[in-house]
Amino acid sequence: MTPIVRFAPSPTGLIHIGNVRTALLNYLFAKKSGGKFILRFDDTDSERSREEYVEAIREDLRWLGLDWDDEVRQSRRLELYDAASQKLKARGVLYPCYETPDELDRRRRRQLARGLPPIYDRAALALGADERAAYEAEGRKPHWRFRLRNSGNGPDPSPQQTLVQWDDLIRGPVSVDLGSLSDPVLIREDGSYLYTFCSVVDDADLKITHIVRGEDHVTNTGVQVALFEALGCNAPEFGHHSLLVGADGKVLSKRLGDLSIAGMREDGLEPMAVASHAALIGTSDAIEPHRSLESLAALYDPAKISTAPARFDPQELAGLNAKLLHGLDYSEVAGRLDALGVGGGDAFWLAVRGNLERLSEAAGWWQVVSGDIEPVGERDAEFLKAAGEELPAEPWDGDTWGAWTAAVKSRTGAKGRALFHPLRLALTGRDKGPELNVLLPLIGRERVLKRLG
């Protein structure tokens, strides 16, 4: 059996690092197993879904290197949902309810006051045809609830075992007591379908074999397993990973723009740094930068994913990004450096890459090497004049810096920081940076003399 997995975002906002973690865990599963990865947009919420978010999600996933074997839009599959709902209605497990939100709220408060769980009492199952007709004559339109096979609440002529159980790919044995839950609403009064229903119908139709998603779906999974059974379908295997939390310990929100993938891209982060962090955080694998998704897929194992909350640390991601850049060869960045207007070829890249946190910072160092710089701080004119007089003739190589500073030291008596720091400031305009033995030949004698003067 070929594994088939899916990532199912709602296009109601930008996706963030937590969403992408789920996408990657499914994508890497498919990559490692030779399976299929489907992108499904859960866009039945017509008021909040936006086409610009659909395109933004595609762009974010492509930037990270993800591709997909098929793309599905729930808003274009209404006939499928209509057929499935008719099947459930015919079986008597999808039933109409006429309570208003206020009536349901009052009922819940009464149950709580009596020390009862505030779950739906299935009163609508006792309605006769005349009573339903009277409600509709008032202008009420029904919402439709799914009669959970395991619920012992209300009229249930054949109560069954109350537990739905499965062997979770990540958490091990898991059970959900459906007897403690209300029959869920699957269809609103306006006829629109809710997430739980559409998701199950799609997963069955697309033959999804494995679903990896956040632990906030555990209870929902119990309901969905019952719904798969009611539709006469086998449920997929499930894995529920822990949620990603921010530095404050709170679950990430898609509205946190600084943690959105679009924001990270605009901030100049490398896609494989983001992918490496998202895929490895909360696992037993070391968080190291990987050059390819194939490399990450080779490590993938649901058993390595912790059930403890995984904390996202922007500083850790920044460090991972820098570490990735420091190991890249010039051939891997040449086109992007050209786009930044950065020249110097392999020699320049090798000189500066160890000092970069973002690739865009290379443009600043190219200005240092090839352009004009602003003087920084107070300058010891006599010291810099003496240094200029000791400057050797070209050609220069990696040994020129050592020979030159030795001559300046002998002439002026300066040593240590008093020797090197004034020269670094004069030549680069910065307190720190790449080793000057490799930077000096790139700057060249003419610019060095101009900066010392």
**Could you count the other beta carbons within 10 Å of the beta carbon of residue 31?**
18
pLDDT tens-place string over residues 118-151: 999 999 999 999 999 999 999 999 999 999 964 4
Each domain of the chain, given as residue ranges in start order, spans 330-370, 381-452
pLDDT tops 60 at residue 156: no
Residue percentage of the chain with pLDDT more than 70:
96
The band of 153, judged by pLDDT with boundaries at 50, 70 and 90, is very low
For residue 335, pLDDT over 80 is answered with yes
Q: Tell me the percentage of the chain whose pLDDT exceeds 90.
A: 87
Backbone angles phi, psi at 85, to 5 degrees: -65, -40
Secondary structure, 3-state, the chain:
CCCEEEECCCCCCCCEHHHHHHHHHHHHHHHHHCCEEEEEECCCCCCCCCHHHHHHHHHHHHHCCCCCCEEEEHHHCHHHHHHHHHHHHHHCCEEEECCCHHHHHHHHHHHHHCCCCCCCCCHHHHCCHHHHHHHHHCCCCCEEEECCCCCCCCCCCCCCCCEEEEEECCCEEEEEEHHHCCCCEEECCCCCECHHHHHHHHHHHCCCCEEEEEHHHHHHHHHHHHHHHHCCCCCCEEEEECCEECCCCCECCCCCHHHEHHHHHHCCCCHHHHHHHHHHCCECCCCCCCCCHHHHHHHCCHHHECCCCEECCHHHHHHHHHHHHHCCCHHHHHHHHHHCCCCCHHHHHHHHHHHCCCHHHHHHHHHHHHCCCCCCCCCCHHHHHHHHHCCCCCCCCCCHHHHHHHHHHHHHCCCCHHHHHHHHHHHHCCCCCCCHHHHHHHHCHHHHHHHHC
Instruction: Check residue 252 and give its pLDDT.
Output: 65
255 C-beta neighbours (distance < 10 Å), count = 11
Say what the pLDDT of residue 159 is: 42
| Angle value at C-alpha 383, between 377 and 386, nearest 5 degrees | 140
Q: What average pLDDT does the structure give for the chain?
A: 93
Q: Is the pLDDT of residue 105 over 80?
A: yes
> Over the stretch 396-442, which tens digit does the pLDDT of each residue have?
999 999 999 999 999 999 999 999 999 999 999 999 999 999 999 99
CATH topology of domain 381-452: Arc Repressor Mutant, subunit A (1.10.10)
Question: Residue 55 has what pLDDT?
Answer: 97
pLDDT value of position 435: 96
pLDDT of residue 251 exceeding 90, the answer is: no
pLDDT of the residue at 453: 87
C-alpha to C-alpha distance for 417 and 30, rounded to whole angstroms: 55
pTM of the model: 0.90
